[in-house]
Structure formats: C-alpha cells, structure tokens
C-alpha cells in the first residue's frame, strides 16, 4: 500500500509534529480530546517534500485522497463542498513542524463562487454575511494564489466605503459588497487574463499548491535561516471546515493564553471581537475586548472556554496560546500551541506548574531558557514607552542605562563618583578606562566586538554596554558624535539598551530588575540536577560578595592586574620604570600590602570556597600611556620649543614605552613570561596571596587559595614557576607556623598548552581554560579587531554560523580542549579542570564543557544564575531516558 498522505484530524497522531505540523497536531489532539474542533484533515509534510521534489507538482493520486477525506468531512458536517444550495466552505492553512508565525499562507472561505454564495446567503439567511465572505475569499485567494497585490483590492473596497459613506468594513451593506465582488472579479480578470476560478475543486487544488509554494517564499527562507530551521522539514496543509465569527453579534473570534504570558500569573488572558473573522483581529481595525468581558456577554461560551483551558493545560502540561471562533453562540477551537511568554512569566509558570504537579521539577528547569534569566537580571527599558532610536550597535552587556554623554574616562570617573549618571562614549576602551567604566551607568563604543574590552568588562560589572556601534562617528576633540545628521554633544542625555544594542536619544523610562522567589526556587532545583560546578570571575570583594549571593561555588578567576589600576597605578608604573632588580623589588614591596588586602577581602567574601587567583597577565605597557599619544605629545612639545626637564622626563617615559611596545601585544611579553623574566613580580604576588590566607586562617575562617599561572606554553615554565610558588608559599607558611592547603595550576589558553597538557599536568594541580585567548590563537582572530573588520561580515554571509567568542567553537577550539582534558587526566587522574573565559557564562558552551568532563565553569557574577540553569539543562538534555526532551516550544 502507498503511504497515507491525508489524515482526518481524528486519525492523526498529535505527537508527530514532524509529519502533521504544529497546527495539525494541535487540531488532532483537541479533536481526540472531544473539544469542539470543526471537522477537517491534514495533508502531511511528506507531501510538501514530494511536491518540491517533483518540481512543484502534486504527487499522483493526492487529490483523490483529498476528495475522499473531504467526503468524510461532508458527512460529519452534513453539508457538501461545492453544493450550490448549502455549501461546505473550508479554510486552507499552512502548519510547519516548527512555528513560523505569519511566514506562510492561509486562505479562508474557500468553496465560494457565484452560485454557492447565493446558497450560503440562503442557508444563513444573511446575504451580507455571504457576500462579505465571498469578497474576503476573492481578495485572499487573489492575493495569495494569484499574486495580485493587496492594495489593488483595498482600493476597490475603499471606493465603495466612500460611496456608501461607511467607516468600517463591517458597515458595508450587502449591495455594496456585491459591487465589491463584481469589481474584484474584474480586477482578477484584468490582472491574470483569466476569470476568477469558479470551480471549488480547482480553488482547493490551487490553494494547496499555494501553501506548499509558500514554504519557499523569500521571507520563509530568511526566517528559517535566522532561526536555524532545516529547509527540509516542509509544511503540512490543514483543510478545516469554515466556522464563521462574522455571522452577527452572537458570533465572534478571539485568542487567549491559558496563563498571563507577561507575568505568569494563573489567570485566563486574552481578547476577542464580535462579528468578525480572524484577520480582523490581526488587522487591528477594531479594538478587541478583554476576554473577561466574554463572561458577561456570553457566559456559557466563557465557561466552556475555561474548561477547554484546564483540559489543554493538563494535556500539554504547558501554558497554551489558543484561537477560537464563536459561530452563533457555539464555540469552536481553531488552534492550540505552547504560548510565548516573557522571561518573568516563564519562570513563574514553570515553578507553579511543578508545584501544581502538572510537570516535574526537571521539566520546570527545562521550561526556562538560560538567556531568559539574563533578561531578568538587568534593568529593562519599559517596552510601552516611546523612544527615538538613533543607532544600533552590538548588544554586548544586557540591561538599559541612561545618562549624560561624556567622552573621557577620567571625567566619567570623577562625575560618576559624585553621583552623576554618565554614559561613557569611547571609540574603544582599554584597561585605563576601568575607572570610567566603573563609575558610568553604561558604555557605548564605536569599535570592538561582543568580547571587546568594553564588552567583557561591562558584563563583568553587570553594566549595560553597546559596542561596535560603527555608524556613530566620534570626534574626541570636539567631544561629540554624529549619526547621519544628528549630532550628540557632551552633556546630552542618551539611553542605551545593552539587550538590543539600541542607542536612544534622551531618557526612556525603565523597569527594575527582579530576582523573584520563583527564580530562586527554580535555581535551587537546577543545583540539585547539575553535575558541573559554577564559579564566578570576580576581582574585588564586592564582586565576590555578589557572586556568592548569586550562588557561585567559588571564584574561578580573580584577575590581579585589575588590582593594579586606579590609585595604585603610580606604584605599578614605578615598578615598570625601575631600571634594576633592586629598584623593582622596592616598588613591589609597596604593592605587596595592597595586594594582600585585596586577597583578604576576596577570601572572606567567599567563606572558605575555593578562590583561584591568576598572577599578572597583561603586558606591562598596558599600564603606561599609549605609544601614539606619547609620541604626539613629545613631538608637539618639541615643535612648541618646550625643552628642559619636562621634555626630558616625557622622553624618558617615551623610551620605556617604545622599548615595551609590541606589534602584536596579544602574543607578547605577558603572563608567565613576565614571571620568568621578572620572578620578583610573581614572588610578591604569591607572598601576598599566602600572607592573606594566613591572616584569614588565623581569624579562624576557612580559606582555599588556588594560584593560577597565565599564558603557559612550555613544560619548563610550569615546572619552574610552580617551584617558585611552592618555595614562597612554604616560606610564608613556615614563618607563620601554620598549614593551609593551596593549589597551583595553569591557564590553558595557548594552543601549545593544550597539546602538551600531559607535560603540564606533572606540575599543575588544576587547569582552567582561558577560551578567549585560546579562541583568538586557534582562529588567529584578534578579538579587538576582528568584529568590525570581517567577523560581522563572516556571520552575515554564513561563513561562520556564530561568533566563536560567544559560543565555543567545538570543532576547532573544542578539539584542543578535549585533547587537554584527556592528556592532562592521563597523567593526573584527579586533575581539576574548569573554564574561566567568557564562554563560561554561555549556555551552549556550558553544555560542551559538561560533555567533555570539566569540573566547573566560571563566569561573571551576573551570569552565575544563568550558568546554574544552563548546567542543569546540559545534564538533563543528555540523560537519554528522559522522553520529554525533544519537545518543541
């Protein structure tokens, strides 16, 4: 026997969305559940594929099957398709396995022609209704199937509305509508050279073809591209008996959510229109009524709807988005699907449903996407407020911020600390800008990508950032930026939305972040499930405190160089400008107590959880003024005839900056390379860490320091620097007659480190993947440059499916990580392995980290809740026994 191609609703299996599409599956489910669904049938997605394969030809015999199904529907309804006296009308609707709202075509009222319209008028005793339906049909069919522009039909309609003096379509009389129909048919003849097809069976076949064709219309292809939906899925076609919401005031049509999709409250939520067909609601010509009003207008129908709601939620175990029509007081269900919801609602619904026993805790966890949590943790722009968007950059750090535009970090820092709201605008930022970033409400840059300095630091601080906004042209000397003709000067107020990348002129109202009880509960469930630890990247006690509150199980990365900035910068510069080891040691002696103090704060904030401290990482020239600025300064001084001591000092500084200058600083004299050449720096830092640990331990508090060496690429580096650290640690502990457990480990961020991981593991007790740098080196992408230069282009044109700085590149970087894990654990089976690059807070990357067996991920404090949930998702997704995993929301 041939494969069955056409299924009545009662024959189809609602679980098989791939075959029946989302809409068909819902209709099948509801039909079987005894809900009032108009009879109908589904042509499967397989037919769509066949149609495409046959070069846009319907497979042989299909229309016979369709007609057989139609016969059964006719029997049920008691009307006949194409019957001139009392015609059965149908809608022909698309329905893909994954919802693609509005992308494909639908035709209503099919089956009408010059004869059947009269039958309909008679049978319904409503001539106006019949002609209204007919003109709607011609218009929709003419547009969708025959390709005649909507506007041409609207012109005719407008003409008769004006002639009749009607404001609304629904005011048009039967007479007017008849004229409209006549003109519509003439339009069709003129445009297509043929009469409007009068044979309902021809109409039906053309409509089915049109729906299949619409699978490959431009916007559907684009939509699938964006949402990563395979082109091979195809759409089903649903043929549904027409029910009419436009038969008078006892009729209507509406949409509803079984719970509030905005707040998640368990309340019936929706709206409807009386005497209307579906498209009227969408068109927004008349304002729909809230669903609660239906309780007054049609109490019976409303009661029935509430029953449907309960039944559907029980069946689907999720909040449903439903469409219904009331025909002369009788309720018909036309669609049900899982409803879209805000992040806030998603959390509340999931937790509530788990508590109601509708779903399990594991299901509740999977119902909320980690990125939804992200939305909950930052201030948001009030979606209802008007706003003037002047530019769009990359949404680098979520949340919205508003303030006065300032172009200098120093000024931003000063005014920000005094309590002013500042938006820092820079071409890009450097570690020098940290103070300004910290004191500003948010940052806007014209260069750099999602992982540029500004982006990373802003996310780390939980501060909104829009970066790489290349359309703005910043003029630092004039202290202004331009977008087209708009000039934004210093002191002007702007708002930036780090969740969308929008730059908005003036102030826009905000809604505050909420960390609801439900979210806390959901996250505690996630903690029970997940198998991979979550730590935070935090450099200050304040950040550490925040991380702890958000549930971090330790610090995975404390960057010591961030402690070298601000008021301590002069000390660091003294160290760098030192010409002998002795001078350098003197400067380091001054830094020791301040570093120690930092570490005491970190240890205390983490209350005995492990704290991984990375020794100094960036090249030293980052702590000095940029070469180009200094060169210009010196040249200008010379040109102005300035001489003497002032010039000499500048020139001396310039010569140091020149000596330290590097063509490719990313691959330069940094990390452990500094520690090898200037061991006194690492010695000071180790001493500060261990002395801090001693102070905390002597107060009777638990403390777990982990000392991490960055930029390691050689076995000798790891060996000799671990020796150095152990030597200093032993010295400090012996002197203080105390024993404190500590660990020494390394970043894996240089490709070579991953390759020789077995050799490094001899001396490293833990690894932490620095995937920012590892990605840079593996791809040979400089993340500060690549985005604006070619990376954006690569993503846009499909060379790259995603930004490898956002999601771990499993194929390339991931191979190196797997290699490092395998080789490292071969030598040291209990090797602790984590990740502290930006990817540590990215759900997709967290899943990969779980799969290759990492012990923990570490991310910015604000992403800790996201990571906790994502880690739970990873565990659940890969427990094969869980059947509900392949649900498509």
Give the residues lining the site for a second copy (CB under 8 A): 627-628, 631-632, 635-636, 639-640, 662-669, 673, 676-677, 711, 713-714, 716-717, 720, 749-752, 755-756, 759, 773, 776-782, 784-786, 789-790, 793-794, 797-800, 809, 811-813, 815-816
Least separation in angstroms between CB 687 and a second copy? 22
Q: Which CB, 370 or 671, lies closer to a second copy? A: 671
Alpha helices in 702-835 (DSSP H): 715-735, 751-755, 757-760, 771-779, 783-786, 792-796, 813-827
Q: Which CB, 487 or 628, lies closer to a second copy? A: 628
Least separation in angstroms between CB 173 and a second copy? 58
Query: How many other C-beta atoms are found inside a 10 Å radius of the C-beta of residue 695?
Result: 18
Q: DSSP state, 616?
A: P
Least separation in angstroms between CB 479 and a second copy? 17
The candidate with the shortest Cα–Cα distance to 99, out of 5, 207, 223, is 223
User: What CA–CA distance (Å, rounded) separates 259 from 356?
Assistant: 14
Q: Is 836 a catalytic residue?
A: yes
**Under 8 Å between Cβ of 112 and 120:** yes
- Terminal alpha carbon distance of the chain: 35
Query: How many other C-beta atoms are found inside a 10 Å radius of the C-beta of residue 377?
Result: 22
Q: Is 516 left (phi over 0), alpha (psi -120 to 50) or beta?
A: beta
Q: Which CB, 453 or 463, lies closer to a second copy? A: 453
Least separation in angstroms between CB 686 and a second copy? 19
Q: Which CB, 793 or 884, lies closer to a second copy? A: 793
Q: Which CB, 181 or 786, lies closer to a second copy? A: 786
Contacts of 704 (CB under 8 A, 6+ apart): 554, 608, 609, 610, 611, 741, 742
- Give the SS3 label for residue 228: coil
- Give the SS3 label for residue 189: helix
Least separation in angstroms between CB 809 and a second copy? 8
Q: Which CB, 835 or 869, lies closer to a second copy? A: 835
Contacts 24+ apart (CB under 8 A), 627-633: 627/654, 627/657, 627/658, 627/661, 630/654, 630/657
Angle between helices 581-606 and 569-577 (to 10 degrees): 150
Strand partners, 356: none
Least separation in angstroms between CB 628 and a second copy? 5
The residue behind tokens 């008996």 is 241
Q: Which CB, 1 or 677, lies closer to a second copy? A: 677
Q: Which CB, 513 or 668, lies closer to a second copy? A: 668
Catalytic residue among 378, 453, 621, 839: 453
Q: Which CB, 40 or 671, lies closer to a second copy? A: 671
Least separation in angstroms between CB 431 and a second copy? 13
Query: Which secondary structure element, helix H or strand E, spans residue 611, and what is its range?
Result: strand 610-614
Least separation in angstroms between CB 627 and a second copy? 7
Catalytic residue among 48, 469, 836, 859: 836
User: What CA–CA distance (Å, rounded) separates 831 from 824?
Assistant: 7
Least separation in angstroms between CB 563 and a second copy? 24
Strand 40-43 to 6-8 pairing:
antiparallel
Give the strands of the sheet with 465-467, arranged side by side: 388-392, 502-505, 493-497, 400-406, 422-426, 442-445, 465-467, 394-397
User: What DSSP string describes 646-697?
Assistant: HHHHHHHHHHHHHHH--SSGGGSS-THHHHHH-HHHHHHHHHHHHHHHHHHH
Least separation in angstroms between CB 306 and a second copy? 53
User: What CA–CA distance (Å, rounded) separates 552 from 572?
Assistant: 31
Alpha helices in 145-214 (DSSP H): 150-164, 174-192, 200-214
Q: Is 469 a catalytic residue?
A: no
User: What CA–CA distance (Å, rounded) separates 462 from 460?
Assistant: 5
User: What CA–CA distance (Å, rounded) separates 401 from 378?
Assistant: 10
Enzyme catalytic residues: 453, 836
């Amino acid at each position: 026997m041939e494969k069955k191609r056409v299924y009545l609703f009662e024959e189809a299996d609602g679980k098989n969305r791939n075959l029946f599409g989302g809409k068909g599956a819902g209709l099948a489910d509801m039909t079987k559940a005894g809900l009032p669904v108009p009879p109908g049938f589904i042509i499967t997605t397989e037919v769509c594929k066949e149609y495409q394969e046959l070069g846009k030809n319907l497979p042989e015999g299909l229309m016979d099957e369709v007609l057989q199904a139609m016969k059964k529907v006719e029997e049920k309804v008691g009307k006949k398709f194409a019957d001139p006296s009392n015609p059965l009308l149908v809608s022909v609707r698309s329905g893909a396995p994954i919802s693609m709202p509005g992308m494909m075509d639908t035709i209503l009222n099919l089956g009408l022609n010059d004869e059947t319209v009269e039958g309909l008028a008679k049978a319904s005793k409503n001539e106006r209704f019949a002609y209204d339906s007919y003109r709607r049909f011609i218009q929709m069919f003419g547009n969708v199937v025959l390709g005649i522009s909507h506007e041409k039909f609207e012109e005719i309609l407008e003409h008769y509305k004006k002639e009749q003096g009607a404001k609304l379509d629904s005011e048009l009389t039967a007479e007017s509508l008849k004229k409209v129909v006549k003109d519509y048919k003439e339009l069709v003849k003129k445009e297509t050279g043929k009469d409007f097809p009068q044979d309902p069976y021809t109409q039906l076949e053309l409509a089915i073809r049109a729906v299949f064709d619409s699978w490959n219309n431009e916007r559907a292809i684009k939509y699938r591209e964006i949402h990563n939906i395979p082109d091979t899925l195809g759409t089903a076609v649903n043929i549904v008996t027409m029910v009419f919401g436009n038969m008078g005031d006892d009729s209507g049509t509406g949409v509803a959510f079984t719970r509030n999709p905005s707040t998640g409250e368990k309340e019936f939520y929706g709206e409807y229109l009386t005497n209307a067909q579906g498209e009227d609601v969408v068109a927004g010509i008349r304002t729909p009524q809230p669903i609660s009003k239906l309780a007054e207008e049609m109490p019976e129908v409303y009661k029935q709807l509430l029953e449907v709601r309960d039944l559907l939620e029980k069946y689907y175990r999720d909040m449903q988005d439903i469409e219904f029509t009331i025909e002369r007081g009788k309720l018909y269900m036309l669609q049900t699907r899982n409803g879209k919801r805000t992040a806030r609602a998603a959390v509340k619904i999931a937790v509530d449903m788990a508590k109601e026993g509708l779903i399990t805790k594991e299901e509740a966890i999977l119902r909320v996407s980690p990125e939804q949590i992200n939305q909950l943790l930052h201030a948001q722009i009030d979606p209802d407020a008007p706003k003037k968007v002047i530019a769009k950059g990359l949404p680098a750090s979520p949340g919205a911020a508003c303030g006065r535009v300032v172009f200098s970090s120093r000024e931003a820092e000063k005014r920000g600390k005094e309590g002013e709201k500042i938006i820092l605008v820079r071409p890009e930022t450097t570690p020098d800008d940290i103070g300004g970033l910290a004191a500003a409400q948010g940052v806007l840059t014209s260069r750099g990508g999602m992982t540029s300095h500004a982006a990373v630091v802003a996310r780390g601080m939980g501060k909104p950032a829009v970066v790489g906004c290349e359309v703005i042209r910043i003029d630092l000397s004039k202290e202004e930026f331009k977008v087209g003709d708009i000039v934004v000067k210093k002191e002007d107020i702007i708002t930036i939305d780090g969740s969308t990348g929008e730059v908005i002129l003036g102030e826009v109202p905000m809604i505050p972040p909420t960390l609801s009880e439900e979210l806390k509960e959901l996250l505690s469930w996630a903690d029970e499930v997940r198998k991979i630890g979550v730590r935070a990247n935090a450099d200050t006690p304040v950040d550490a405190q925040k991380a702890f509150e958000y549930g971090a199980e330790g610090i995975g990365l404390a960057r010591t160089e961030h402690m070298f900035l601000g008021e301590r910068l002069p000390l660091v510069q003294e160290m760098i400008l030192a010409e002998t080891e002795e001078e350098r040691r003197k400067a380091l002696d001054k830094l020791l107590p301040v570093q120690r103090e930092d570490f005491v704060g970190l240890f205390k904030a983490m209350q005995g959880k492990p704290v991984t401290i990375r020794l100094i990482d960036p090249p030293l020239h980052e702590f000095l003024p940029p070469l180009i600025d200094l060169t210009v300064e010196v040249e200008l001084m010379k040109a102005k005839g300035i001489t003497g001591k002032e010039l000499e000092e500048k020139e001396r500084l310039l010569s140091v900056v020149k000596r330290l200058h590097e063509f490719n600083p990313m691959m330069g004299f940094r990390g452990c390379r500094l520690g090898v050449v200037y061991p006194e720096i690492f010695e000071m830092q180790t001493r500060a860490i261990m002395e801090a640990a001693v102070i905390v331990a002597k107060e009777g508090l638990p403390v777990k320091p982990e000392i991490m060496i960055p930029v390691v690429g050689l076995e000798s580096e790891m060996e000799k620097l671990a020796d150095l650290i152990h030597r200093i640690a032993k010295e400090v502990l012996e002197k203080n007659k105390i024993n404190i457990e500590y660990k020494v480990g390394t970043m894996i961020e240089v490709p070579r480190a991953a390759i020789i991981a077995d050799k490094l593991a001899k001396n490293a007790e833990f690894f932490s993947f620095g995937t920012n740098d590892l990605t840079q080196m593996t791809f040979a992408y400089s993340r500060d440059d690549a985005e604006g230069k070619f990376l954006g282009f690569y993503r846009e044109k499909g060379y790259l499916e995603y930004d490898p700085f956002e999601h771990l590149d499993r194929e390339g970087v991931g191979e190196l990580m797997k290699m490092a894990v395998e080789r490292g654990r071969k030598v040291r089976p209990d090797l602790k392995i984590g990740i502290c690059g930006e990817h540590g807070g990215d759900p997709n990357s967290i899943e990969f980290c779980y799969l290759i067996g990492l012990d923990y991920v570490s991310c910015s404090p604000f992403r800790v809740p996201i990571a906790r949930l994502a880690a739970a998702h990873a565990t659940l997704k890969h427990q094969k026994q869980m059947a509900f995993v392949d649900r498509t929301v």
